[in-house]
Amino acid sequence: MVGVLNLLVIVPLFFLQKVVTSSVDEQENQHCVCVPYWQCKEDYSGLVEDGGEVMDIRKERETSNDYEAPCTNDFDVCCPVECGNRKLSSNDILTARQFEEEVFGFRILGENNEAEFAEFPWMLGILEGKTYRCGASLIHPQVAVTAAHCVSKQGVYKIRAGEWNWESSSEPVPHQDQHAKKIIIHPQFHPASLRNDIAIIILKSPFKLSENIGLICLPFRGAQIDSKSCVVSGWGKNSHKKGTYQSTLKKMDLPLVPRNRCVKTLQDKKLGPFFSLHQSFICAGGESGKDTCKGDGGSPLMCPVMGKPGKYHQVGIVSWGLTCGMQNTPGVYVNVMMFVDWIDTVLKSHGFDTTVYKYR
């Protein structure tokens, strides 16, 4: 990255309450989290995020046995967790580190912005043994999506959720690990060209949703995309070839690039006049020093949902690029919208609820 920033994490009061450790008891329905009843909306439609119903808890309120049943604390209810809610703070305190000499490398590049703890609760890491391989995203407590090229080779993969800093063991809420039970690579994935570069990972057991583990929404076909305000996250390497992976999760604002401009740029840069960008790809970025590279593969590219502040849907998956962080050279991402029907079909065939990654 061009520069590196320190981030002082402001831990919300929400993390300091008992809800931190009470998540959901062992149960089949993992789509809710146990919280004090006043932290759940009065109609039990989701968590209170603006403090509106927490200001005065003296008001009498009816509770439902349906929502109390899974929780052990008498004051807790199992509150549904909506997909795509990015945790943002207006109190970020950032301190600049020394700028690096190189403007590109195999990682997320730019000013080395560190994500807040739990800012992207759907962000996953794929490990093979103890080695980090790729990023992924959580769309269901027991299902992840990633790039097919990340898991195309046979191996024993472990999926980590809720991680922020790989070198720290003192985060406000611990991470969770689950092993992959089944990997479903898109039947039309082409390893040489990376066309249809998407895979579904079914886990042996579901993750327990908590403050640092949540779901990302997927866009429906024809959804309007706020293409200028997209963001990508990942732990990619910090220099060409011999770089090391980033210990702390990074984020980078990357606007989508119009298809015709992306094709023309890729043709002019290296691929020649006969290159055609397959429909399974979209493009983003292109600003000098801001890009995704090796180690970021499989990580989500997210854009705001139009008309729903703070809610994001995943429009892309980091796939490939010509180089890293070079001016006017966008990165290429899997076009997630094209594969939502396939994802629905696969999940339904395995008995999973597909409404959990669809926003209202």
Instruction: Please tell me whether residues 64 and 205 are part of one structural domain.
Output: no
**Residue 351 scores a pLDDT above 90:** yes
Residue 201 lies in a domain: yes
In a domain, 271, yes or no: no
Is 244 a member of any domain? Answer: no
Question: CB count, 10 Å around CB of 158?
Answer: 16
43: containing domain:
32-80
pTM over the 0.95 mark: no
Per-chain mean pLDDT for the chain: 77
Between CA 166 and CA 286 the distance in angstroms is 29
pLDDT value of residue 112: 59
User: Considering only CA atoms, which of 13, 172, 212, 9 is closest in space to residue 94?
Assistant: 9
When mean pLDDT is compared across 5-9, 150-154, 222-226, the lowest value belongs to: 5-9
pLDDT at 49: 59
Q: Convert 187-206 to b/e letters by CB count within 10 Å (16 or more is b).
A: eebeeeebbbbbbbbbbeeb
Domain-embedded: residue 42: yes
Q: What is the pLDDT of residues 58-83, one digit of tens each?
A: 444 454 445 455 688 888 888 888 89
Q: How many domains does the chain have?
A: 2
Closest alpha carbon to 246 in 7, 84, 12, 11: 7
Q: Pick from 46, 64, 80: which residue ends a domain?
A: 80
Q: Name the band, by pLDDT with cuts 50, 70 and 90, for residue 237.
A: low
Region 104-109 average pLDDT: 35
Residue 140 located in a structural domain: yes
**pLDDT at residue 290 in the model:** 58
Q: Which residues contact 95 (CB under 8 A, 6 or more apart)?
A: 5, 6, 8
Percent of the chain at pLDDT > 70 equals 72
Q: Hunting for tokens 């080395």 — which residue is that?
A: 112
Choose between 265 and 329: higher pLDDT.
Answer: 265
CB 267 within 8 A of CB 275: yes
Average pLDDT on 152-163 reads 93
Residue 347 lies in a domain: yes
Q: What totals of helices (H) and strands (E) does the chain contain, helices first?
A: 5, 17
